[in-house]
Amino acid sequence: MARMMRDRLFGKYAMEATITVAEQVTPTMRRIRLETDRPVAFPFTPGQHVRIQLKDPLSVSGILRPGETLRTYTIWDLDAARQAIELRVHLYSGDGIGLRWARAARPGERVTFWWPQGDFFTRDADFHVFIGDETASAAFGPMIRALTGASGVFGVLESETPEHDLPMPGQARLRRVHRRGAPATSSPVLLAAVAELDLPGNAGAAYVAGEAMTCRLVRDFLVRERNWPRTSIKVKPFWTPGKRGLH
């Protein structure tokens, strides 16, 4: 019975793939390309994520410890033939099953992933504002690439030092700031840069991701100090100290 349920869920929502590229794009950002066994048939909007299966969530040990089964990464790119996805995984200093997987990933290894969920994608707006850390940059890349038309792109991206900046698509006017040892949690560096942001008003769409407490402070700043309507700001906490596997 459990096996039947597992097979049905798996067939509907999961895919098998082989890692074909695993390399550094910055000292702490890993590019991982997964080639799928069959074309990806699921609907996809840039900004959505997959969940990499590190232990079968429907196995006995997976059911006993569900927090140690899946980890969430944004689809950086889905190729035109829909037979490969790329991820950008931040190698932070710490420990977690996702981090261990990304660090050790090598071409030839098999991976199971669970297909996109999430509503972290862009909406129509006069201009767009992207604010976040390295993990957020991995989501903003595909969102910015998908923007069409003349709408402006603004924002602040934080990383450790300039050599840790993830290259972003297009001509996005994104300011880069660097922690240089300062905390990414309630990030003073990112908040100071957001306070200096020169925006064409409050009628745009803002996207805030990364560490949860920083996200909340950024949103509060935009609402209280810049009069942004809360509904114009999409906030997606990606991680926070002590919590495992946010999704």
Ligand X SMILES: Cc1cc2nc3c(=O)[nH]c(=O)nc-3n(C[C@H](O)[C@H](O)[C@H](O)COP(=O)(O)OP(=O)(O)OC[C@H]3O[C@@H](n4cnc5c(N)ncnc54)[C@H](O)[C@@H]3O)c2cc1C
- Pull the structure tokens for residue 16: 């098998």
Contact predicate 137/157, CB 8 Å: yes
**Nearer to ligand X (CB atom), residue 36 or residue 48:** 48
Q: How far is CA 134 from the centre of its chain?
A: 9
Instruction: Based on the shown chain and the rule CB under 6 A, indicate whether residue 169 belongs to the binding site for ligand X.
Output: no
Q: Per-residue string for binding with ligand X, 211-240, x by CB under 6 A?
A: -------------------------x-xxx
Q: How far is CA 88 from the centre of its chain?
A: 8
**Nearer to ligand X (CB atom), residue 180 or residue 247:** 247
Instruction: Based on the shown chain and the rule CB under 6 A, indicate whether residue 31 belongs to the binding site for ligand X.
Output: no
Among 52, 84, 139, 177, binds ligand X (CB under 6 A): 139
DSSP-derived secondary structure for 24-68: EEETTEEEEEEEESS---S---TT-EEEEESS-TTSHHHHH-GGG
**Nearer to ligand X (CB atom), residue 38 or residue 64:** 64
- Pull the structure tokens for residue 231: 């509904």
**Nearer to ligand X (CB atom), residue 27 or residue 200:** 27
Instruction: Based on the shown chain and the rule CB under 6 A, indicate whether residue 94 belongs to the binding site for ligand X.
Output: yes
**Nearer to ligand X (CB atom), residue 130 or residue 239:** 239
φ, ψ (nearest 5 deg) of residue 13: -120, -10
Among 19, 21, 58, 99, binds ligand X (CB under 6 A): 99
Residue 60, amino acid: V
Among 13, 45, 96, 202, binds ligand X (CB under 6 A): 96
Instruction: Based on the shown chain and the rule CB under 6 A, indicate whether residue 245 belongs to the binding site for ligand X.
Output: yes
Among 13, 44, 92, 127, binds ligand X (CB under 6 A): 92
Phi-psi region of 196 (alpha: psi -120 to 50; beta: other; left: phi over 0): alpha
Distances (CA, A) of 168 to 12, 134, 203, 216, 225: 33, 11, 24, 24, 28
Instruction: Based on the shown chain and the rule CB under 6 A, indicate whether residue 115 belongs to the binding site for ligand X.
Output: no
Distances (CA, A) of 2 to 9, 55, 234: 11, 16, 37
**Nearer to ligand X (CB atom), residue 5 or residue 59:** 59
Q: Tell which residue, 119, 135, 143, has the closest CA to residue 240.
A: 135
Among 138, 143, 166, 177, binds ligand X (CB under 6 A): 138
Candidate segments 32-40, 55-63, 65-73, 104-112, binder of ligand X by CB under 6 A: 65-73
Binding-residue total with ligand X (CB under 6 A): 31
Instruction: Based on the shown chain and the rule CB under 6 A, indicate whether residue 123 belongs to the binding site for ligand X.
Output: no
Site of interaction with ligand X (CB under 6 A) = 49, 71-74, 87-90, 92, 94, 96-99, 118, 120, 135, 138-139, 236, 238-247
